[in-house]
Structure 1
C-alpha cells in the first residue's frame, strides 16, 4: 500500500510513499515549518496496482494485432 500524509496546519502533503517514509517526511515538515507543534493531520491510503496500470494498453494492443492479422489473411 502507498500512503500520503497531509499536514494539519497548512496545505502540505507528502508524495505517495511507504508508511514509515511518509510519516518521516511529515515529521520533518513539522520540525521545519511548525516547530513546537505535534505532527497531525490526515493519512490517505491506496493500493498499489500490481501491473502498473498497463492492462488497458495490453488489451488495445491485442485488438490491433487481431485486426492486422484479419486484414492480412482476408485476401
Structure 2
C-alpha cells in the first residue's frame, strides 16, 4: 500500500511512497522548512494500486462493443 504524508504546518505533501520513505521525506521537510517543530499532519493511504480500474475499463469497453453490435443487427 502506498502512503502520502501531509505536513501539519503548510500545504506540503509527499508523493505516493511506502511508509518508511514517506516518514523520511516528511522528517526532511520539517528539518528544512519548520526547524524545531515536532512533525505532525495526516497520513493518506491509497488502498488501490495504479491499475485497479483496468478491469472496469475492459468491462465497459466490452459492453459498448456488444451494444454496438446489437444496435446494428438486422434480421
Tell me if TM exceeds 0.5.
Answer: yes
1:6-49 CA-to-partner distances (Å, cap 9, x unmatched) read: 11211211122111111111011011101122222221212123
Q: Structure 1 unaligned segments of length 5 or more: list them.
A: none
Which TM-score applies when normalising by structure 1?
Answer: 0.73
1:53 corresponding residue in structure 2: 53
Q: Structure 2 unaligned segments of length 5 or more: list them.
A: none
RMSD: 2.1
> Alpha carbons of 1:10 and 1:68: their partners in 2 closer, same or farther (altered >3 Å)?
closer
Is residue 2:18 matched to residue 1:18?
Answer: yes
Distance, in Å, in 1 between the alignment partners of 2:67 and 2:7 is 51
Residues 1-75 of structure 1 mapped to structure 2, 5 A cutoff: 1-49=1-49, 51-67=51-67, 69-70=69-70, 71=72, 74=74
The total of aligned residue pairs comes to 74
Which TM-score applies when normalising by structure 2?
Answer: 0.73
